[in-house]
Amino acid sequence: MPAFGMIISKFLGLSQSLSVGLILLACCPGGTASNVVTLIAQGDVPLSIVMTVCTTLGAVILTPLLTKILAGTYVPVDAAKLSISTMQVVVAPILLGSYLQSAFPEAVKVATPFAPLLAVLAASLLASSVFSENIVVYLGSSAFGSSLSSDLSPLLRVKAILSSELGVVILSVLLLHFAGFFVGYLSAALVGFKEPQRRAVSVEVGMQNSSLGVVLASSHFTSPMVALPPAMSAVIMNIMGSSLGFIWRHIDPSHPKGSFKVAEE
């Protein structure tokens, strides 16, 4: 994914700030949303969780290191400060969850049935928060946002968005996540994984912790444009992942060639 981020930014000719933001997003680990999507897609949920934990723990070192290597040619990157922020955002919740599991097992057992719904609601609210704080503010403060406030038809508004800098950001984020989903599935198939594992790897590779990307971009880079790709990803990634999970949910993973499931009474 970091390699895809760099290639796509070069291919689309993104500005320095947007290139750094896309690379930073690509260097982020998988998030908990990937586990929920894997569950919906009838993928291997334990494998997805293990991958999330491994990439999350590895992100303390790898996210700052890869960002410095790939994005350091554009702007100065303080890998040490990025590492500390990553640890605060992604490792602290894991430690807290492990403590609650060991200290209050009965309470955790009672709350477990509600956990999937809570995870979906939390992910949706977080994505909405990230979107409103970054994209909406960007639209309201930019000349592009002022042009959209004029009396334009919905079709012309969409055309204006797609032809603007924001449209290029949308395209770059779409390409990044599509590449992750596709290459993740293909690589799992090439090494002989079965369908549930292929789906889990595809979702895990294609979905990033965009919220972490926004936090790192906002805290350690002066240009607000760096946060634009991760903020846009918070919405686009969840739409793409949920759509893919919905499609896979209606395709039987146990069938060698895939078959649409017949609804059971």
DSSP-derived letter for residue 132 is I
Instruction: Give Cβ neighbours of residue 252 (< 8 Å, ≥ 6 apart).
Output: 258, 259, 260, 261
pLDDT of residue 8: 94
Q: Dmax of the chain from CA atoms?
A: 59
Count of Cβ atoms closer than 10 Å to residue 111 Cβ: 12
pLDDT at residue number 220: 82
Residue 249 tokens read as: 């949910």
- At residue 158, the pLDDT reads 57
- pLDDT tens for residues 100-136? 888 888 888 888 888 767 766 776 676 667 666 666 6
Average pLDDT over residues 63-74: 84
Determine how many CB atoms are found less than 10 A away from the CB of residue 155.
8
102: tokens are: 């060991």
H helical segments located in 43-164: 45-71, 79-86, 92-103, 105-111, 115-131, 137-141, 143-148, 154-162
**pLDDT tens readout for residues 163-207:** 667 788 889 999 999 999 999 999 999 999 999 999 999 999 999
pTM higher than the cut 0.85: no
Q: Give me the amino acid identity at 136.
A: V
Residue 260 has pLDDT above 60, yes or no: no
pLDDT for residue 84: 84
Range among 71-75, 118-122, 152-156, 258-262 rated most confident: 71-75
More confident residue, 74 or 137: 74
38: exposed, middle or buried (C-beta count within 10 Å: 0-12, 13-18, 19+)?
Answer: buried
Higher pLDDT, 262 or 184: 184
Share of the chain above pLDDT 70, in %: 79
